[in-house]
A and B are shown apart, each in its own frame.
Chain A
Amino acid sequence: MDKLIEERIFKILMVVSLGIVVGSLFMVIAVIIWNGAPSLSISMITQTPKGGYYLGKEGGILNAIMGSLYLAFGSVILAFIISLPAALSLQKDYIGKTRLAYYIRLSLDVLWGTPSIVYGAFGFIVMLYFGMRASLLGGIIVLTILQLPIMIRSMEEVIKLVPYELKEASYTLGATRFETTFGVVMRQALPGIFTAVILAFGRGIGDAASVLFTAGYTDSLPRSLLDPVASLPLAVFFQLGTPFPEVQRRAYASALILLLIVLTLSIVSRYLSRKFTKNIIR
């Protein structure tokens, strides 16, 4: 009977653990909504900070919302341009099975694990070297580097799943590797590639430590790539750091806006990737 009691105890422990894990997600979301929603207003998302905003006066965080969107879109586009060919070259038709590919994967994994504050410091040194100040461009470049390993490694995972028979069929018809890659593989892996892009976008829009030194912070909207730019995570961080309860409540609302953007992205990407999957041969 003993072994059954042990099993029962552990089963209860497992269910409790899973409950804590899943419960913590709902708790995080609930706490942010509970505290953020009361201070959320239209002016918050349609106005830039007015004079005295950080003392509790009027205004909003449009600068940070737009700044984050600029940063995230800019970096996602750049990262995509580099990641797609890089991920495709890791197929076994190209260098996938070689020693070189092994080291490329390993170094990308290290890059993925590198703390974003280290990216920030590195980006800042490089920018100083080129005589740049904290700017939209600087932020975009650092976020691009941050997103590269995420995009390449997750794209590679889905590209790997494309059945080799399909590629063989294409080769048999006389297609080159290039034609096979872009005509067959790309089409098959599209939903997965899309998910990888969304994943990287979410990581880019939410990261604060890497843009802390490289994108700066400003109350106005950027007019050029060389202007400093505000971002949502930093807006949350700075507003929370003020001693005024009114401004701190706006930090909660800003966190809610950020959370909503990220959750929406994640849900939309799941829905779309399911929809795209219809024409996939497995």
Chain B
Amino acid sequence: MNIRKLKDAFAGRLMLAAALFSSLIVLLMAIILYLRSRPILEVKTLNDLLLGSIWMPFQGKFGFYPFIMGTLYVTLLAMVIAVPLSILSSIYLAEYAHENVRTKVLPVIDLLAGIPPVVYGVWGVLAVVPAISYIAPVIGNLGIPFLTVKGYSTGYSLLAGGIVLAIMVFPIIISISEQVLRAVPFDIKEASLSLGATRWQTIKHAVIRIAYPGIAAAIILGFSRAIGETMAVLMVVGNVPNIPSSVFDSAYPLTALIANNYGEMMSIPLYDSALLLAALILMLVILFFTVAARLILIRIERSMAYG
């Protein structure tokens, strides 16, 4: 009898230890990245680093501004493409689609989530980049702001990165917002429908109003996935450290900066430190977004469970 209880207590401790260990990794990661990025923070002010636009590590100039803007622009562009398409798709799946369609389409979208980034990158190089280099001269000469082409475009551009990233975040946004939309209580829809509202009016005025925090959380999670994506973006975005002024310009996101330079530049201590600072910045941004999104989702879960 006692042996069974002992076993139970022992297993309980061991399981807790495993959970604690896994959750402490994130803390350890942040601390180590901070310690290793301190050397550069001691010589330069954060302002210089974040807003400086000259990147010449060998001359001691570490301006992250072009890379931060590269990351920001490519991520925003991806969201501009992905958000409307994903939200409309998830509304259709949750509200209109026949059960048969829904159960067939959702696994396909899951499949999309499982494809490795590198494969998306190859797809980008094979399909998106040539297509952009083909249409860029046509659209670029119309003089529309943000759509101009200086000289000619190779196709390796902000737009290519945005399109590839958009496809990579589809499954995240769709699967979460579809779940949130389907969790909206049927009573509310019923009430709206019985007042004579059409299905679309019900969705617009009742369903979305209740589901919007969850949809916001889905978008935030998609955004944080896009901001941290490395390989696929690196392969199609051109990697030229300038501040892009058009979607046909090349960009150089932070993740690509780390991937292209880290590991080889160990001989220059400050260079190493600067790249790890970039990693730390990325991690903190993601931390902020993830916590925000999870807090929203947890609140929804609670209100659904108790309210």
Contacts from A to B (Cβ < 8 Å): 3-4, 6-7, 10-11, 13-15, 17-18, 20-22, 24-25, 27-28, 31-32, 35, 82-83, 85-90, 94-95, 101, 103-122, 124-126, 145, 148-149, 152, 176-179, 181, 199, 202-203, 205-209, 212-213, 233, 236-237, 240, 251-252, 255, 258-259, 262-263, 265-266, 270
Q: Known contacts A113-B224, A113-B228, A178-B12; is A122 also within 8 Å of B118 by CB?
A: no
> How far apart sit A142 and B118, CA to CA, in the bound complex (Å)?
18
| Residues of chain A contacted by B259 (CB below 8 angstroms) | 117, 120, 209, 212
Contact across chains for A18 and B230 when beta carbons are under 8 A apart: no
What residues of chain B lie closer than 8 Å to A122, measured between beta carbons? 29, 32-33, 279
Q: CB < 8 Å: which of B4, B170, B228, B263 contacts A176?
A: B4
A-B contact count (CB 8 A): 269
Q: Which residues of B contact A20 (CB under 8 A)?
A: 85
Write the nearest CB–CB distance from B214 to chain A, whole angstroms. Answer: 15
List chain A residues, Cβ under 8 A from B109.
21-22, 25
Q: Which chain A residues border B170 with CB–CB below 8 Å? A: 21, 24
Which 10 residue pairs across A and B have the least CB separation, nearest first?
A: A206-B116, A115-B228, A89-B15, A7-B200, A14-B92, A17-B88, A85-B15, A176-B8, A86-B19, A86-B18
In the complex, what residues of B have CB within 8 A of residue A208's CB?
116-118, 230-231
Residues of A within 8 A of B114 (CB): 199, 202-203, 206, 262-263, 265-266
Asked whether, in the complex, the Cβ of A117 is within 8 Å of the Cβ of B258, the reply is: yes
Q: Is the Cβ of A114 less than 8 Å from the Cβ of B230?
A: no
List the A residue with the shortest CB-CB distance to B297. Answer: A109
Contact A117 B255 (CB under 8 A): yes
CB distance from B248 to the nearest CB of A (A): 21
Shortest distance from the beta carbon of A156 to any chain B beta carbon, whole Å: 10
Sampled A-B contacts (25; CB under 8 Å) = A7-B199, A13-B88, A21-B112, A28-B123, A32-B119, A94-B16, A108-B22, A110-B291, A113-B224, A113-B225, A114-B26, A117-B228, A117-B230, A118-B228, A122-B33, A145-B25, A148-B25, A177-B12, A202-B116, A206-B119, A207-B117, A209-B231, A240-B125, A262-B114, A270-B107
B122 touches A252 (CB 8 A): yes
Residue numbers of B with Cβ under 8 A of A are 4-5, 7-8, 11-12, 14-16, 18-27, 29, 32-33, 36, 84-86, 88-89, 91-93, 96, 105, 107-112, 114-123, 125-127, 167, 170, 174, 198-201, 221, 224-225, 227-231, 235, 255, 258-259, 262-263, 275-276, 279, 282-283, 286-287, 289-291, 294
Chain A CB count within 10 A is highest, among B5, B88, B108, B227, for: B88
Inter-chain contacts of B24 with A (CB < 8 A): 107
Q: Given A31-B123, A121-B275, are A207 and B116 also a contact pair (CB < 8 Å)?
A: yes
Q: Is the CB of A176 within 8 A of B198?
A: no
Measured between alpha carbons, how far is A126 from B36 in the docked complex, in Å?
A: 11
Q: In the docked arrangement, what's the CA distance between A110 and B290, Å?
A: 6
Contact A108 B286 (CB under 8 A): no
A18: contacting residue among B88, B117, B235, CB under 8 A = B88
Which residues of chain B are within 8 angstroms of A105 by Cβ–Cβ distance?
Answer: 294
A102 CA / B88 CA spacing, docked (Å): 32
| CB pair A22 B118 closer than 8 Å | no
Contact A209 B119 (CB under 8 A): no
**Candidates A28, A32, A94, A115; contact of B229 at CB < 8 Å:** A115
User: Looking at the complex, which one of B12, B235, B275 makes contact with A240 (CB distance below 8 Å)?
Assistant: B235
B74 → chain A closest CB, angstroms = 13
Known: A7-B198, A25-B111. A18 touches B105 (CB 8 A): yes
Is A266 touching B111 in the complex (CB atoms < 8 A)? yes
Chain A residues within an 8 Å CB radius of B29 = 111, 114, 118-119, 122
Within the complex, what minimum Cβ distance (angstroms) separates A63 from chain B?
16
Whether B22 and A82, one on each chain, are in contact in the complex, defined by CB atoms closer than 8 angstroms, is: yes
- Determine the main DSSP class of B at the interface with A: helix
Question: Which single residue of chain B is at the shortest CB-CB distance from A13?
Answer: B88
Contact A17 B115, CB 8 Å, known A25-B108, A89-B12, A176-B8: no
Chain A: which residue is nearest B19 at the CB level? A86
A7 to chain B, nearest CB (A): 4
Residue from the list A82, A120, A205 in contact with B116, Cβ < 8 A: A205
* Given known contacts A14-B92, A110-B287, A149-B22, A28 and B228 CB-to-CB distance under 8 angstroms: no
B222 to chain A, nearest CB (A): 11
Contact of B231 among A32, A124, A237 (CB under 8 A): A237
- CA A116 – CA B231 in complex, angstroms? 9
What's the least CB distance linking A217 to chain B, in Å? 12
Interface pair B230/A209, CB less than 8 Å apart: yes
Known: A85-B18, A104-B19, A207-B116. A125 touches B89 (CB 8 A): no
- Contacts A28-B167, A109-B294, A237-B231 hold; do A103 and B126 have CB atoms under 8 A apart? no
Cβ–Cβ contact A6 & B200, under 8 A: yes
From B22, B27, B167, B286, A24 is in contact (CB under 8 Å) with: B167
A178 with B8: in contact, given A17-B85, A22-B105, A110-B286 (CB under 8 Å)?
Answer: yes
Q: Is the CB of A258 within 8 A of B116?
A: yes
Q: How far is the CA of A114 from the CA of B12 in the complex (A)?
A: 29
Of B32, B199, B282, the residue contacting A115 (CB under 8 A) is: B282
Give the CA-CA distance A15 to B167 in the complex, in Å: 17
In the assembled complex, how far is the CB of residue B160 from the closest CB belonging to chain A, in whole angstroms?
Answer: 14
Q: Which residues from chain A contact B291 at a C-beta distance below 8 Å? A: 106, 110
